[in-house]
Chain A
Amino acid sequence: MAQLVQLTDVSKVYNGDRQHAALDSISIGILPGQVTAIMGPSGSGKSTLLNVIGGLDRPSAGTVIVDGTVLSRLNETALARFRRTRVGIVFQFFNLLNNLTALDNVTIPAQLAGVKPADARRRADDLLEQLGIAAHRNHYPARLSGGQRQRIAIARALINNPALLLADEPTGALDSHAGQQVMSILADLNRSGQTIVLVTHDERLARANASRVVRLIDGAVVSDRDQPALEMVKVQ
């Protein structure tokens, strides 16, 4: 099967400091439908790797191919379009726009992509319904709980049907109950075929949800193992 994500000798250094590379010649591939957990201690390069895959950051060296697109060939505008349509990104601290309602937050990527407002709203409403937060569609983020905000962020990430969902510590800012709910949603999404790359430093979460665990230390891959079976967390 063709890889959805293919990284070849990807390095990332800041300020020319090659001795302390954030990513050091990483080569990995990710198959469609996989849930891949990227693990490692703080400063190991997990988020940098996710940013490089998501086109938020450019590698200093190496090649990144996502869904057939060679990211290094894209200019800033093309990269933005790539982020808008091919990937969805969920952040640890939600990164919602505080002065827009939940519904408006979710519809923005679709509208930026030129989807008609009515179609975008219909799709957003479906997602909010599916994620159990339709009742909060007209609320501003400041009035929502952390779990609710993260579900809005997931809805926003999915609005353009991306091939790849990137989640950077999606439960890091949530209590355990809300965290379990969010992981359950991600698991459901994966069951329906969504490829997910998950950054976490939570061993239990990775073991329970990922079909593959890649471990990083000092920007280098130190282990890359598939997991035979998953123990999916159920929504309570």
Chain B
Amino acid sequence: MNPVLRKTLADIRRRKVQTAVVTLVVFLSSLTATLALTLLIESDAPFDRAFNHVQGAHLFVTFDARSVSESQVSATGSLPAVSAVAGPWLVYPASIAFPGGRTRFIPVAGRDQPGGAVDRLTLDSGRFVQRLGEVVLSRQLADEMALGVGDTLTPASDSPLPALHVVGVATALGNDAAAWVMPGQLSRVRTAQYLMAYRLHHASTASEIAAAVDAITQSVPTNAVIDTSNYLDAKLSADRTTAVMIPFLLAFSVFALLASALIIANLVSGAVIAGTREIGIMKSVGFTPAQVVRVFAGQLLIPAGLGCLLGLPAGVLVSQPFLSDTAHAFGLPRTFDIALWVDLLGLGVILLVVVATAVLASLRAGHQSAAAAIAAGSAPSGGSGSQLAGLAGRLRAPRALTFGLGESTARPVRSTMTVVAILIGVATVTFALGLHESLTRVASALARDRQVQVQVYREAVGKSQRSELSEQQVTALIASQPGTARFTGVGHADATVPGAGHPVPTFAYRGDASWLGYVPIRGRWFAAKGEAVAPTAFFTRTRHHVGDSISVLFYGQPTQLTLVGEIFDQQDDNVILRTGIETLPGRTAVWNYEVQLRPGTDASTYAAALESASPGLSARINRENGTDTAFLLINSVLAGLALILALIAASGVFNTVVLNTREKARDIAILKAIGMTPRQVVAMILASTAVLGILGAVLGIPAGIALHRNILIVMGQIASSTGIPDPFFQVFGGTLTILLPAAGIAIAMLGALLPAQWAARSRVTEVLQTE
């Protein structure tokens, strides 16, 4: 056998721990890389991909079944503007009992299969309906009602539908149906509608879609078309959700890839440096520098290759729930299971990092003289590290601990490798915790659930009754509820703003609205008549700045506005204004109310009481549990990745401590021979690693904080239409400042404990005899 191969295989057999650690770290890194790349793909224009994947409908049209026949609706599929259709499906607005005793009307469609030429449904769980009495819920409705497969959807008492057994949960791109039953289930209901899904030849602009709507409307009897919706609205809605989350996913994916590469580079160079003495011996028996490099690259490449081979399928497997969670968070169907070429590319990069690091690290030793390499690889014999050891020995602490403290820097290069491994781990934990906290604040700022628990509408949303109460009466009704802490009325108007491109929706508040929870990015909340605030997109679109005075038209009347603040807001396309109702000319009516409840008031009970007091009102609960499901899911995805990265970092520490203890085997044996107990050996090694852990934490925390800030800013600029308020960055205070150094020490201890125990159990006579 070729001597290089023989030596390579012999080293792999002899260095079992190193081989196992390299395999494990590369396995975990491949897994992380696969996950990160999967998330990167998932974060790239998710709506467009999902739309293509499910043959999304450009247009949904709802027809009144009393005015048009099924065949007439079907015939619209032959119009020239239409390229493909699905339907018509019978749709019935079913009255459903919601938690708290409220009832809601939801559109239930009769559909016998999830596929088709247009608007394919994606089943997230369970199966599609096969018989009467079964129902499949939309993901959104299932989340809202906390129902899943096996549960029962209970109709309101006045509904002709029976109780329906939930057999599946599906994601649809449109929201024209919230549940699906067998068509026969709706055969006896009155007031039914037909829903038709269209793909159009030309649908890139609203006007092209409007032209198609006109053609469809003209092809059926007058008043037959009762509603339309198009994919541009759905895209806007989906993009609003994804735009805020994508920066976080991108940031973490990029970080995960970088951290994996760094840890592998650290591990491989550490392994090569540990073999410096061996390199000297190899050269002394005739290995050329190139052969030395091949031996080291080979002994690392073989376990690394194995790690990659195992990591790819594991990554694909583990990414499945991550993909589901991400798609669920986006409110979109899953579009792929595996992105093989990207994953293979990722693994190629990992192997390249292994080879490049091994070659670079072994080149230096390979070109040293044999004697110099042997000397460099032997135990240190004094110097600054030794002086530190002497100083540590004078500390008033148990000798095993002070000995460990002194030993921590005895090998500067090795110590640096350990510090780097810990630094990456701590930076990861810092970054992940920071991202988690930032994301939680974003979710809270978007939901504003701490400030507003119930929203009351003067129109009966999804109900048959109409409110007959005046604004003053509704205001008095809300004020009279014992659970009301405070509330604000909101009126709506459109403003004509130069440069906006379309009428700008304006939300006008009656009374103090500063408590509503809109976080300022720049400037402040409006405080006087004529002042207004707007989200980032408004300023970007109109090219105005905070402090500018602008002239706008309300109801055709010019009004002067001073833009006093840029706020974090995700509403419509974010080109909106918020101001006081007194700023608007004329009489603008309040149409809805934002209500803050007194502590201890149950929102469902409050909402039900309000609705029963005036059946024409709608009271909706603002995000049930404090944080949006989507953000919780994204946070769980990030937490999973952070855990894996911390594990990789701990493996890096483990490896460097194994190398350290192997090199210090002689010293440890001597110490045991002169009376150091196994516990003292463990304490000594842990103390030496703890010093490096603290050092890693001291360096890793600012690195993680800087990464958190900068990656978020960059990713936010790339992917989102909104600026990020400073408080979302200022997350590292209080508990985190205690937790993070602890994380550094924990990672160091986790990695060092096992090698320390191995060292404590080593046999003195064997080690000293092999000297």
A, B bound: yes
Using a CB–CB cutoff of 8 Å, the interface residues on chain A facing chain B are 47-48, 51, 54, 56-57, 76-77, 80-81, 83-85, 89, 91, 93, 95-101, 104, 107-109, 111-113, 117, 140-143, 156-157, 160
B483 within 8 A of A: no
B466 within 8 A of A: no
Give me 11 other A-B pairs in contact (C-beta within 8 A), A56-B765, A112-B399, A112-B671 excluded.
A77-B678, A81-B677, A83-B672, A83-B674, A95-B673, A97-B670, A112-B676, A112-B677, A143-B382, A156-B674, A160-B675
CA distance A112 to B403 in the complex (A): 10
User: Given A47, A57, A89, A108, which contacts B399 in the complex, CB threshold below 8 Å?
Assistant: A108
Find chain B residues with CB under 8 A from A48 CB. 765
Contact B399 A81 (CB under 8 A): no
Contact A83 B400 (CB under 8 A): no
CA distance A99 to B406 in the complex (A): 9
User: Given A84, A91, A93, A97, which contacts B675 in the complex, CB threshold below 8 Å?
Assistant: A84
Q: Mark B745-771, 1 if CB is under 8 A from A, else 0.
A: 000000000000000110111001101
Contact B386 A99 (CB under 8 A): yes
CA distance A97 to B404 in the complex (A): 13
Among the stretches B289-297, B390-398, B468-476, B626-634, the one at the interface with A is: B390-398
Contact B768 A99 (CB under 8 A): no
Find chain B residues with CB under 8 A from A111 CB. 393, 399
Contact A108 B381 (CB under 8 A): no
User: Given A56-B764, A99-B410, A101-B390, do A109 and B382 touch, yes or no (CB 8 Å)?
Assistant: no
Q: Mark B399-414, 1 if CB is under 8 A from A, else 0.
A: 1100100110010000
CA distance A76 to B678 in the complex (A): 7
Q: Which residue of A lies closest to B674 (CB)?
A: A109
Find chain A residues with CB under 8 A from B771 CB. 93
Contact A100 B678 (CB under 8 A): no
Find chain B residues with CB under 8 A from A112 CB. 399-400, 671, 674-677, 680
* Sample (9) of A-B pairs whose CB atoms are under 8 Å apart: A76-B678, A76-B761, A80-B675, A83-B673, A99-B385, A107-B393, A108-B399, A112-B675, A113-B675
User: Given B386, B403, B678, B761, which contacts A108 in the complex, CB threshold below 8 Å?
Assistant: B403
How large, as a class, is the contact surface on chain B?
A: 35 or more
CA distance A93 to B675 in the complex (A): 18
CA distance A112 to B400 in the complex (A): 7
Contact A77 B673 (CB under 8 A): no
User: Given B390, B396, B675, which contacts A109 in the complex, CB threshold below 8 Å?
Assistant: B675
Find chain A residues with CB under 8 A from B399 CB. 108, 111-112
Contact B672 A80 (CB under 8 A): yes
User: Given A57-B765, A80-B672, do A99 and B381 touch, yes or no (CB 8 Å)?
Assistant: yes
Find chain A residues with CB under 8 A from B769 CB. 47
Contact A98 B678 (CB under 8 A): no
Find chain B residues with CB under 8 A from A81 CB. 675, 677
B558 within 8 A of A: no
CA distance A89 to B672 in the complex (A): 11
Contact A89 B674 (CB under 8 A): yes
CA distance A77 to B679 in the complex (A): 7
User: Given A80, A95, A100, A107, which contacts B389 in the complex, CB threshold below 8 Å?
Assistant: A100
User: Given A84, A93, A117, which contacts B674 in the complex, CB threshold below 8 Å?
Assistant: A84
B11 within 8 A of A: no
Q: Which residue of A lies closest to B677 (CB)?
A: A80
User: Given B383, B760, B763, B768, which contacts A95 in the complex, CB threshold below 8 Å?
Assistant: B768
Q: Mark B305-347, 1 if CB is under 8 A from A, else 0.
A: 0000000000000000000000000000000000000000000
Contact B675 A85 (CB under 8 A): yes
CA distance A47 to B771 in the complex (A): 15
User: Given A111-B399, A140-B386, do A98 and B380 touch, yes or no (CB 8 Å)?
Assistant: yes
Find chain A residues with CB under 8 A from B674 CB. 83-84, 89, 108-109, 112, 156-157
B379 within 8 A of A: yes
CA distance A57 to B761 in the complex (A): 12
Find chain A residues with CB under 8 A from B406 CB. 99-100
Q: Which residue of B lies closest to A160 (CB)?
A: B675
User: Given A117-B394, A117-B396, do A99 and B389 touch, yes or no (CB 8 Å)?
Assistant: yes
Contact A99 B765 (CB under 8 A): no
Find chain B residues with CB under 8 A from A117 CB. 393-394, 396
Q: Which residue of A lies closest to B383 (CB)?
A: A99
From residue A128, how far is it (CB to closest CB) to chain B in Å? Answer: 16
Find chain A residues with CB under 8 A from B380 CB. 98-99
B667 within 8 A of A: yes
CA distance A57 to B765 in the complex (A): 7
From residue A65, how far is it (CB to closest CB) to chain B in Å? Answer: 19
Q: Which residue of B lies closest to A88 (CB)?
A: B674
CA distance A112 to B677 in the complex (A): 9
CA distance A77 to B394 in the complex (A): 25
Contact B381 A77 (CB under 8 A): no
CA distance A120 to B405 in the complex (A): 19
Contact B382 A83 (CB under 8 A): no
Q: Which residue of B lies closest to A121 (CB)?
A: B394
Find chain B residues with CB under 8 A from A141 CB. 381
From residue B559, how far is it (CB to closest CB) to chain A in Å? Answer: 79
